[in-house]
Amino acid sequence: MLTRRTALMGAAVAAMMMTMPALADELKLPREHVDLVAPPFVHPHEQATKAGPKILEFKLTVQEKEVVIDSAGTKFWAMTYNGSMPGPMMVVHEGDYMELTLVNPETNSMPHNIDLHSATGGLGGGALTKVNPGEQAVLRWKATRAGVFIYHCAPEGMIPWHVVSGMHGTVMVLPREGLKDENGKPLHYDKIYYIGENDLYVPKDENGKYKTYETLAESYADTTEVMRKLIPTHVVFEGRVGALTGKNALTAKVGETVMFVHSEANRDTRPHLIGGHGDYVWEAGKFNNPPQKDLETWFVRGGSAGAALYTFREPGVYAYVNHNLIEAVELGATAHVKVEGKWNDDLMKQVSPPGPIPPEKVGAAQPVAVTR
């Protein structure tokens, strides 16, 4: 039934669509095409710029595919941007325009779109980017707020399923003058890593074994049933257990400052670097707010991203974890950072190695517990 409100909304959308090409033509700005890379890596970018605003062109292609998420060979039907869980990080500067092409190949089975928490208007772009298989859409939006923000798929009626199946990522909008501390002093990073946390919900059969499905659509009902219990079977970084450990561990050197960007599109999480700290932390991810300092663990709200800077001071293997240790150790939310360099005894020294407990001295007084 066509109501007056529906008609007015339709007219408003039509009017907006008619004006969009004219507005786009008015942007006489330089353009730059950006080639995206899969997490934990981030495409090359300037941390600060004196150049004026420009239009940065990005492309995300939706891939629906079966993936293996642990060493036991557990299979999972994923929905992804550019094939990775999470999708790539995209970096712009405040005042720039992002022109994003979203492609949904005809080989896919589902409609998809993108809701950018960094964007203003149209459900974060979700209202203007719904693409069925065989379609693509182009969205342009202006970066008006500095920080790290998530993006995710948000098709009507299927949002949770698409998000927990891998369809999320992060946009970083840097201040044009770069990052600063609470006193306005410039901050710089030598490396940046993007860690996207995934809570996954894999159905089991009557014998307790993980189920597999021939198609993505066949997995929907069972996966939704598991999701609604709110108990993930896996909590992982970059889409699978061990994605950032062993030969895939992150690397750094003593003296290097590393930025860790951490996102969770669905649940709260608590990043912690075992053996290190958050020298400067934007816990809520917004760079126009002064960073907190010297945090041991920081809190990233579900549906957001946070950022932390740490300068490594000792060599060794550091564990970067979700400090819900059950999820880190039992469910998979652990990464490793291998740091090279010279050991500093002043910061930490083994005074004596493990060995037998020496015998007690004859006649030595025994400690006495005093109670009242």
- In this prediction, residue 26 has a pLDDT band, given cuts at 50, 70 and 90, of confident
Active site (catalytic) residues: 112, 115, 117, 152-153, 162, 167, 272, 296-297, 323
Answer for the pair 91, 172: CB distance below 8 angstroms, yes or no: yes
Mean pLDDT of 27-32: 94
- In this prediction, residue 313 has a pLDDT band, given cuts at 50, 70 and 90, of very high
Distance CA 163, CA 213 (A): 19
Answer for the pair 110, 65: CB distance below 8 angstroms, yes or no: no
How buried is 21 (Cβ within 10 angstroms: 0-12 exposed, 13-18 middle, 19+ buried)? exposed
| CB atoms closer than 10 angstroms to residue 284 | 17
Share of the chain above pLDDT 90, in %: 89
pTM value is 0.90
Tell me the per-residue pLDDT of 210-258, one tens digit each, with 9 for 90 and over: 999 999 999 999 999 999 999 999 999 999 999 999 999 999 999 999 9
Question: Which of 304-320 are b and which e, b meaning 16 or more Cβ less than 10 Å from the residue's Cβ?
Answer: bbbbbbbbbbbbeebbb
Tell me the per-residue pLDDT of 35-85, one tens digit each, with 9 for 90 and over: 999 999 999 999 999 999 999 999 999 999 999 999 999 999 999 999 999
Residue-level pLDDT at 27: 85
Tell me the per-residue pLDDT of 91-137, one tens digit each, with 9 for 90 and over: 999 999 999 999 999 999 999 999 999 999 999 999 999 999 999 99
On average, the pLDDT of the chain sits at: 93
